[in-house]
């Protein structure tokens, strides 16, 4: 299994999404403006949507 990279800059940390990120993701996705300017993000955004997205990101990395 490959290690998921972690990229850290002064203003940003990119890392593997975890299930404990769900509350933060849900809070951000409550904004209708987000879904209006992005493809494939439903509104309202549910916990199931969040879990699906996290799992899809993980599988995408593993299958790369």
Is residue 55 situated within a structural domain? yes
1 within a domain of the structure (yes/no): no
Residue 6 belongs to some domain of the structure: no
Alpha-carbon span 52 to 40, nearest angstrom: 12
Total-model pTM: 0.76
Here the tokens at position 13 are 């940390």
Mean pLDDT by 10 residues, the chain (64 residues): 89 94 94 90 93 92 84
**Cα torsion 21, 61, 53, 48: sign:** negative
- Containing domain of residue 35, as a range? 17-62
């Amino acid at each position: 299994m490959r290690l998921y990279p972690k990229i850290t800059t002064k203003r940003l940390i990119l890392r593997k999404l975890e299930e404990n990120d769900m509350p933060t993701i849900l809070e951000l996705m409550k904004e209708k403006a987000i879904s209006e300017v992005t493809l494939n993000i439903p509104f309202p955004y549910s916990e199931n949507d969040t879990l699906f997205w996290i799992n899809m990101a993980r599988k995408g990395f593993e299958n790369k």
